[in-house]
Amino acid sequence: MAEQAAPRRADARRNEKALLDAAAAAFVAAGVEAPVRDIAARAGVGVGTVYRHFPTRADLVVAVYRHQVEACAEAGATLLAEEASPYAALARWIDLFVDFLVTKHGLAAALHSDGGQFDALHAYFLDRLLPVGTTLLDAAVASGEIRPGLRAYELMRGVGNLCIGADSDPGYDARRLVGLLIAGLRRAD
């Protein structure tokens, strides 16, 4: 019989979430090579706590990536229930998706030594986010707010392409262009 892992203490779960949120913020500000001491300071924990949870930088980057994929995936149904319309829910979800894309800049370089780990993350990303994007698009089409015929993969790929280079060119406003793309989905009456 397999031994079950003991439940983690509440403070350990809080520390891990604080670390993931702090690392994501640090990655936005300084890329995935942000110093561990800066991440620890943002999280309000010691450097040893960072290494206890994430022994390598790749472990930390993967955990942040997964944490943000989960947050984006879970937001879909919530936004659909809370927003005034399916189109509004889709637009808000795309904003979250853009935030996620900004934090993953440099992921490939951080995981360069383990291409298999990167490939697995990409599959995880698609498995978790494509169904959410599809649900939101289908709801907006069914409500008559956007035109039919666009697949979630196409939309997410387009948004991703618009975000390329946004972190290295202060004159480029990817969020504005993504907003124009989402506005262009609206059905002309």
Runs of H (alpha helix) within the chain? 10-30, 36-43, 47-53, 57-82, 86-103, 107-110, 115-142, 152-163, 174-183
Could you tell me the residue ranges of all domains in the chain? 9-55, 56-183
Structure tokens at 64: 């942040």
CATH superfamily of this structure's domain 56-183:
Tetracycline Repressor, domain 2 (1.10.357.10)
Q: Determine the topology of domain 9-55 in CATH.
A: Arc Repressor Mutant, subunit A (1.10.10)
Give the global pTM: 0.81
Separation of alpha carbons 54 and 83, rounded Å = 36
How far are the Cα atoms of 6, 7, 9, 13, 53 from residue 3, in angstroms, in the given order? 9, 12, 18, 21, 21
For 105-121, what is each residue's pLDDT tens digit? 666 556 555 556 667 88
Asked if the domains at 9-55 and 56-183 fall in one CATH topology, the answer is: no
**pLDDT of amino acid 114:** 54
What is the rounded average pLDDT of the residues 67-89? 95
Side-chain-side CA neighbours of 90 within 13 Å: the count stands at 30
